[in-house]
Amino acid sequence: GGLRLQVSAALREGRVAPTELCQSCLALIKSTKFLNAYITVAEESALKQAEESDQRYRRGQPLGALDGVPIAVKDNFNTAGIETTCASNMLKGYISPYNATVVQKLLDQGAVLLGKTNLDEFAMGSGSTDGVFGPVRNPWSYSRQYKEKSVPKSSCEDKECEWVIPGGSSGGSAAAVSSCTCFAALGSDTGGSTRNPAAHCGVVGLKPTYGLISRHGLVPLVNSMDVPGILTRSVDDAALVLGSLAGHDPKDSTTIQDNFKPFELPNLTDVSKLSIGIPKEYHAPGLSSEILALWSKAADLFKDAGAKVIEVSLPHTRYSIVCYHVLCTAEVASNMARFDGLEYGHRGAMKQSTESLYAATRREGFNDVVRGRILAGNYFLLKQNYENYFVKAQKVRRLIANDFLKVFRSGVDLLLTPTTLSDAVPYPEFIKEDNRTRSTQDDILTQAANMAGLPAINVPTALSERGLPVGLQFIGRSFQEKQLLTVAKWFEKQVKFPMIQLEEVKRHDHGVFQHQKSASFS
Amino acid sequence: QKVTVEVLDHLEHLALVDFRDSEGVERLQKAIQFAEQLHEVNTDGVEPMDSVLEDRCLYLREDDVTEGNCTKELLKNAREKVEEYFVAPPGNIPLPKLEERETFLQDF
């Protein structure tokens, strides 16, 4: 036994060498450049890491299941010697002097870092459309499954066909995993930024419990809600990556000190002892009838297998997004204050005073979304507003967290909800609404888990009528990732989500890119 | 209830970012309006929550120096430096008043 990715078995058995795998992935990245999933491809260092891995395998001494496995990291994690931009002009050219703890842990396991993935600027957004390097495209836009279902435009230039968004803000990471250019990717999740793109790109997106994984080196957005997120093509893979990342980090005092033991997921066969809660407030306005039907079908799946499925209530759900809005902007106002042009990043040209330098730097470095949140946050933190907005939001936060506590105390093990309101929309439609409106709409089903610090996972469930992925979300109890992932794995096995049929992937596949799956849930 | 020019100006001073145009101001107005919904919730007797880990003790390590000496590394990313110093323009000079500085708010 032993924890393994499917690709790890291939590496260990010598069916493919780490350098071959790395080269295939790099070639695939090049041929899928139109997805704009990567901001930086670290070709040289990746090949070097792959060579070192080759040697370890030849000596029969791989570091673990992740040795030689190509991974990608969202560009808001610090990576030593590699540019970290957060998709912002503010950090263009910034070369990290250190590795984020999670990056270091992956490298220590022998993982091969292919590059940094694209995102919404400073992780603010739900579409991966608002970064300075342009929007990320959902790989499913180019899948046979989507093309078969979409009405072709009369003059449709090959790659310019109406592509759909990957979701955000970790859209680049989700797209990278979905298009098979890497086997696992790191994202971040503050309001749903890992689960949302996971749902739209048909991959597994895990948001761990707050405090389980170190945030050291992750450029902070909301200190009390941020977590590193894990994106993979299977639940087993997510468990494996979680095992190498979780645990106390002395460099992040918000990580809990409990001993974390990596675990292998059992193959659950009997769900009769499980109690699944269906929160009625997650039947949110705007939820597509398709997803509603899928959610219902999933609940029936558990019921038919003998689990107890009951409707529960989280009465403060609809205030979660408002609460988030206030707390997020307030923390953002504080966290973005470090960008002043003096120590790193972009520097304005003003020399009259430090204040005018800071103002010019920030004027030039931040996009509208970031500036908007900073200004709103500062408003809510004004002395005359502090009690009425910031403290009020903190109180509402407690009510939201208590809602979950009550439900879990009543005997419910896990909650089953939709992840998104609909399948991915085409880019021109998405940008019709502004960033905050979009985030408000899109985060509604994912946000509360961040508020309460609970673990949550998106499991790709089925394809929509348009041929695009739809996922469902499981929310678990604090630090009960093993239970959460065990049930998620059982569900994944039942639904048999189809592989993406992408021309480019077929060309570069060694037979290790994708898991063998057939049939489908819908 | 619209935000006054004085408050907008004050925010530009505090945040050291600018509203840029009427859209920026609109954005703030909408954000405030949106946040108003919080007042529908009854929070009598509810304590504010700072962190979901409030029931745990924060980790404090020993006050020993375990790393550092990376001046060169850290200075690499600074645009302007002299020897081992970051160079900054003179401080304690506030931003010019609304009438005297280049801001969209002047015509507001």
pLDDT, tens only, A298-354: 999 999 999 999 999 999 999 999 999 999 999 999 999 999 999 999 999 988 999
| pLDDT, position A152 | 63
pLDDT, tens only, A191-230: 999 999 999 999 999 999 999 999 999 999 999 999 999 9
Cβ-contact A312, A283 below 8 angstroms:
no
Asked if B16 and A358 come within 8 Å (Cβ–Cβ), the reply is yes
Matching residue, tokens 């209530």: A313
Active site residues of A: 74, 169, 193
Asked if B32 and A396 come within 8 Å (Cβ–Cβ), the reply is no
A41: its two tokens: 């491809």
pLDDT, tens only, B90-105: 998 888 888 887 788 8
Cβ-contact A94, A124 below 8 angstroms:
no
Tell whether A209 is covered by a domain.
yes
Burial A147-159 (b: 16+ CB within 10 A, else e): eeebeeeeeeeee
- The complex's ipTM works out to 0.94
Cβ-contact B23, B104 below 8 angstroms:
no
| pLDDT, position A517 | 42
Tell whether A339 is covered by a domain.
no
Q: pTM for the complete prediction?
A: 0.95
- Among B23, B41, B67, B73, the strongest candidate for a mutation testing the A interface, having the largest count of A CBs within 10 A, is B41
Distance CA A463, CA A475 (A): 22
| pLDDT, position A437 | 81
Tell whether A413 is covered by a domain.
no
- Among B49, B57, B64, the strongest candidate for a mutation testing the A interface, having the largest count of A CBs within 10 A, is B49
Matching residue, tokens 């046979």: A144
SS3 A114: strand
CATH of the domain at A107: 3.90.1300.10
B87: its two tokens: 């160079």
| pLDDT, position A516 | 43
How many folded domains does chain A comprise?
Answer: 1
Q: Which residues of B touch A393 (CB under 8 A)?
A: 35, 38
Please enumerate in sequence order all residues whose Cβ is within 8 A of that of A429, keeping only pairs 6 or more positions apart, or say none: none
Asked if A326 and B7 come within 8 Å (Cβ–Cβ), the reply is no
Q: Give me the domain span that covers residue A235.
A: 6-271+455-516
The DSSP code for B42 is -
Is residue B6's pLDDT more than 70? yes
Cβ-contact A286, A441 below 8 angstroms:
yes
Of A237, A232, A276, which Cα lies nearest the Cα of A460? A232
pLDDT mean across residues, chain B: 91
Tell whether A501 is covered by a domain.
yes
B window 62-81, beta carbon within 8 A of A: 70, 73-74, 76-80
The DSSP code for A360 is H
pLDDT < 50: residue spans in chain A: 1-3, 154-155, 516-522
Distance CA A207, CA A322 (A): 21
